[in-house]
Amino acid sequence: MSFLEKYNKGQTLLIDKDLDWTSFDVVKKLKNVIKCKKVGHAGTLDPLATGLLIICTGKNTKKINDIQNLNKEYTGEFILGKTTPSHDLETEFNKTYDITEITEEKIKNLSFNFLGEQLQRPPKFSAVKINGKRAYEYARQNENIEIKEKKINILRFEISKINFPNISFKITCTKGTYIRSIARDFGKKLGCGAVLSKLRRTMIGNYDVHNALRINILVQNLKKEKIENY
């Protein structure tokens, strides 16, 4: 079987996405190397996030919807006492709050309140479609639009470290959950604001980032494989 036949038949590749890469950047890079018509990712990862990105090629692109429906695990960090319009560091801080009354006990107790099925409002700086346009397009034009809440389920929310104003966490959640929205709502309920400062996707279902390759290493391996198959 030739290199192209192998990837047209279908492969599932695990990428440990680097910071500042978009999911589309990764797909485009791999498409240029593999030369396969069908290459797609199974779940977007924001440019400011790192970690597991699953790429499917050829006939395996039929599996994308099933993979997207799997639960996700993330680790990351919130900054307390500040807010931004995007709820992460993509935009500038716009408000600052006093956090002297915030205790570790309050933080840990609040995390339990986020567990279970609930309605969550996606961020206005998101790819959610409203009347044919992405929400972030309205946000960048300072247009106020109503974003409908969506049902999600947070299966695990563990506060792993507190080093004020930073709190580290691990979250397991269902498809469609925005960790930036969790940061926003967590800060709101604490009464001091919060933004997402770090995010890493560690698992999608049973797919583990420990089995993933950085894009530069994967590309090197693919080029070597391509040469060996000629």
Which tens digit of pLDDT belongs to each residue from 58-100? 999 999 999 999 999 999 999 999 999 999 999 999 999 999 9
**Which residues of the chain, if any, have pLDDT below 50?**
none
CA dihedral sign of residues 154, 70, 194, 123: negative
d(CA 65, CA 42): 7
Cβ atoms of residues 86 and 127 within 8 Å = no
d(CA 204, CA 14): 10
Q: Which residues contact 115 (CB under 8 A, 6 or more apart)?
A: 154, 155, 156, 157
Which amino acid does the sequence have at 35? K
The boundaries of every CATH 3.30.2350.10 domain in the chain are 3-69+206-228, 72-204
Which residue among 16, 46, 88, 185 is the active-site one?
46
Domain spanning 72-204: CATH 3.30.2350.10: yes
Please name the CATH architecture into which domain 3-69+206-228 falls. Answer: 2-Layer Sandwich (3.30)
pLDDT at 215: 96
Q: Is 98 a catalytic residue?
A: no
pLDDT number for residue 230: 62
Per the CB < 8 A criterion, the answer to whether 155 and 47 are in contact is: no
CB burial of 213-226 (b: ≥16 within 10 Å; e: otherwise) equals eebeebbeebeeeb
Give the pLDDT of residue 185: 97
| Strands 166-173 and 194-204, bridge-based pairing | unpaired
Task: Report the C-alpha dihedral over residues 86, 166, 71, 88, rounded to 10 degrees.
Answer: 10
- Residue 153: predicted pLDDT: 98
Contacts of 84 (CB under 8 A, 6+ apart): 90, 91, 92, 93, 94, 195
